[in-house]
A and B are shown apart, each in its own frame.
Chain A
């Protein structure tokens, strides 16, 4: 038996019938066709599926969708619209932080919480803020650069 829930995803309200044990990630990916929350481990360790729920970064593979009933969800798709990118997105491009790109969406969502809370992070703040996100391509150097760049841009 499915259960009805309401999610506001990237500003749009959805009434969804979900399996009771479905994770938020599976609902976002399979039912709402969002590609941003990616499955990398399904055990809350890699961070590829990171989204914001009510303004905070979470592993969407570790949240049951039913438990998120009524929540506001933001995925990488919702960071920007139209021709202009969010400064975090633009900084990931400009700093060369994107390689295979599979970790990128989750990485940006963790970076977003950091920059929401700490507009002027130092390097250690940044490295710890993305410690829950694994990347196997970059060695993280250019990702750290990207977050620094985004901080500068957001601070104007």
Chain B
């Protein structure tokens, strides 16, 4: 590995930061088009009902109302709205529709929409739409939904089972027979929201010839194009999705088409004007979530701590439509439950189950947090019972660098720095001394906990039907800078700066000399898979590096002609192309770029001089490719907590997070990812939960007054990030990726630390103060 690079590995300033501190233009929420109308959707108050009749005549009369959209106006097409798979992906469930006129299956399902001159008028018009419903029995618990006689949500899914994946390795009965001890537990996780700060919003212009231009909060430019076109029965090329320079957070929450985009498009066509549809925070809370999963986990262990067998059954509540739930269950089974540790005999059964709850969605970690909570809690229980060291126990059973990839036989775990993550993390928090004698004062008990987890980076293959490839275009400018254009969305995690750094390093330009185009759309940049699955640094980064390498090849050809040397003899750094071993003989990148775009005859002080045909042509590079692997970042998380045994409140005092993410492209950005990931994981562990009225199915936590996420006050005062920089051979400059590890381990680490503090094991998230007091027998 290049031990020291000029641009990669440095905390280069984000080029987007200036815009963001001076007012923050460039988000979809700020798009204002002349003549724009405002739309609102009417949503079902019933969790399960038949629509008998819709009468919008009163709404149409309201002054200012320009159009009403009813189910009969919407193409009735069933498809999978998840961006990273084809709309008719055979591995997914094709049960989603934009607005059906027959059945509502959750509270909040859109049944009509209005476009008006103001949002207030549109909202007032909703109250004038009369919908007659015939209530149907509803079911909210997935295990009840699987019972015979439960209300059925979809015709072709007996017992409400949307998908039922499974796998078997070895002989599970034999494995348990080989065990000295068997541990069983049931671990339950809750429904949580990603809580991106920018609400879902779109501004759509659809003309009489069905040409659509859409500005939208999305994690996937091309996914939006494909799904919106599909939902409306149009060819993809009819839809132009404009890449917003910035998106106000996503975290997996803007990874599928919802009714919003097609409804706004159809209203635009009806009115002949652009239509803006902005969801309220209440609507966002019932649009996507992380699926709750209940895990039955049974593990056979030898006296020495080695696993002999592992059986798990996972029940995932996908809500009214399968959407992401059909894939989350797979990632959960493979990576959430069975990646961390070897078990010679293993069996898993997964159930994605329909209920009359809101539709689940994508959320950072994508099934792994739910699995990790079970696995990393139970291994702690095993260590406690058998008196084993939790670090040694994990290392004994963990997968190791160089081993075959457990789910992708084509790969080996080429880099997997888990042992070093554990060692350095433990050293930083002072694990050995800390765990032996946690400090406590009176009613406040302290404890330490740890958890580890690997993550799957979307790369070249893996789960069926997933789009993987990335594209990039790069162009050198005559002033020695370069323009980069990709479809990769920066949702806040630093994709712009990271990709620009990779391009700059490859092209030998200074940091800051590569600029991300702010004028891209699906017409003018190549396809890229979504910003999801920890993939952008690795996958998009590889495309950017390859495009930059192509531009560099052309740069050297032109420079070689200018300098009358062979291109093979050239190198470039800090914006200067020079002959290897002869640093004095050089030209700047700017000079080369100017030369390539110069007129055929150049005027010089010495008089007119011809250039050659071979030198002509803007220096560009392009790539569209899949990288060579699906690498595996991993992390070890250590926390110290303080539990108030009188109120049940838990404070996380300190977090130490050691990550192997391969080569770190931008350390400050990577730290920011980890600190933010920990915040989300901590909220998941201790406070966050979307709750519903058990009778009506209505959401009780639909704003930030009722759905609590950590503020600056609850966060630990000390957060340490440690990077174990393995050099991933297939990664751009050795990088893997960072997006998700950091959000997966906080919940089990905190649960383990709470156990260490008070001796009570919690197997249901979130571990609220109330649960703590119940666990302590105080209520």
Contacts and interface: CB of A to CB of B under 8 A. Distances in A.
Q: In the complex they form, do A and B come into direct contact, defined as C-beta atoms under 8 angstroms apart? A: yes
Interface string B525-567: 0000000000000000000000000000000000000000000
A100 B248 contact: yes
B705 A45 contact: yes
Contact of A104 (B24, B194, B491, B674): B24
Scoring A21, A29, A34, A45 by chain B CB atoms within 10 A of each residue's CB, the highest score goes to A45
Contacts of A141: 671, 675, 715, 719
A57 to B, nearest CB: 15
Contacts of A92: 17, 21
Interface string A118-138: 000001001110111111111
A40 B703 contact: no
Nearest to B711: A131
B493 interface: yes
Interface in B680-710: 680, 703-705, 709
Contact of B493 (A76, A99, A126): A99
Contact of B281 (A41, A85, A138): A41
A156 to B, nearest CB: 21
B668 interface: yes
Main secondary structure of the interface of A (DSSP, over half): loop
Most buried by A among B18, B23, B199, B679: B23
B280 interface: yes
Contacts of B717: 123
B678 A139 contact: yes
Given A104-B24, A136-B197, A42 B675 contact: no
B169 to A, nearest CB: 38
Interface string B23-34: 111010110100
Contact of A96 (B194, B196, B671, B719): B671
A40 B23 contact: no
B197 A127 contact: no
Contacts of B675: 138-142
Contacts of B679: 136, 138-140
Given A43-B705, A76-B22, A137-B676, A96 B280 contact: no
Interface stretch (B8-16, B95-103, B399-407, B479-487): B8-16
Contacts of B709: 134, 136
A80 interface: yes
A77 B246 contact: no
A105 B198 CA distance: 13
A86 to B, nearest CB: 8
Nearest to A94: B13
Nearest to B194: A136
Nearest to B249: A100
Contact of B704 (A46, A75, A77): A46
B197 A100 contact: yes
Contacts of A98: 14, 16-17, 20-21
A93 to B, nearest CB: 4
A126 B668 CA distance: 21
B676 A136 contact: yes
A103 interface: yes
Contact of A127 (B17, B30, B494, B713): B713
A121 to B, nearest CB: 12
Contact of A39 (B11, B14, B21, B29): B29
B278 interface: yes
B251 interface: yes
Nearest to A40: B197
A33 to B, nearest CB: 7
Contacts of A104: 20-21, 24
B247 interface: yes
A40 B493 CA distance: 19
Given A142-B672, A142-B675, A105 B23 contact: yes
A77 B20 CA distance: 10
Interface string A44-86: 0110100000000000000000000000000111011000010
Interface in B192-250: 194-199, 246-249
Contacts of B669: 96
A86 B278 CA distance: 32
A102 B24 contact: yes
B272 interface: no
Interface in A4-39: 19, 21, 29-30, 33-36, 38-39
Interface string B262-302: 00000000000000001011000000000000000000000
Contact of B21 (A102, A108, A142): A108
A7 B569 CA distance: 65
Interface string B711-752: 111010101000000000000000000000000000000000
Contact of A35 (B23, B199, B676): B23
A123 B717 CA distance: 9
B712 A130 contact: yes
A144 interface: yes
B492 interface: yes
Nearest to B13: A93
B672 A138 contact: yes
Nearest to A123: B717
B21 A38 contact: no
Nearest to B655: A139
B703 A45 contact: yes
Contacts of A100: 196-198, 246-249, 491-493
Contacts of B719: 139, 141
Contacts of A126: 712
A143 interface: yes
Contacts of A130: 711-712
A30 B704 CA distance: 24
A143 B712 contact: yes
A19 B64 CA distance: 15
Nearest to B196: A136
B710 to A, nearest CB: 8
Contacts of A34: 23
Nearest to B493: A99
Contact of A85 (B14, B22, B711, B712): B22
Q: Which of B23, B197, B281 counts the most A-chain CB atoms under 10 A from its CB?
A: B197
Contacts of A21: 120
Name the 7 nearest CB pairs between A and B, nearest first: A100-B492, A101-B20, A102-B248, A139-B675, A45-B704, A102-B197, A139-B679
Given A100-B246, A101-B248, A135-B197, 18 more contacts: A30-B32, A38-B197, A38-B198, A43-B704, A46-B197, A46-B704, A96-B11, A100-B197, A101-B19, A101-B246, A104-B24, A105-B24, A126-B712, A127-B713, A133-B712, A135-B676, A137-B249, A141-B719
6 contacts: A89-B21, A123-B717, A127-B713, A128-B712, A139-B678, A141-B715
Interface of A: 19, 21, 29-30, 33-36, 38-43, 45-46, 48, 75-77, 79-80, 85, 89-90, 92-94, 96, 98-105, 108, 123, 126-128, 130-144
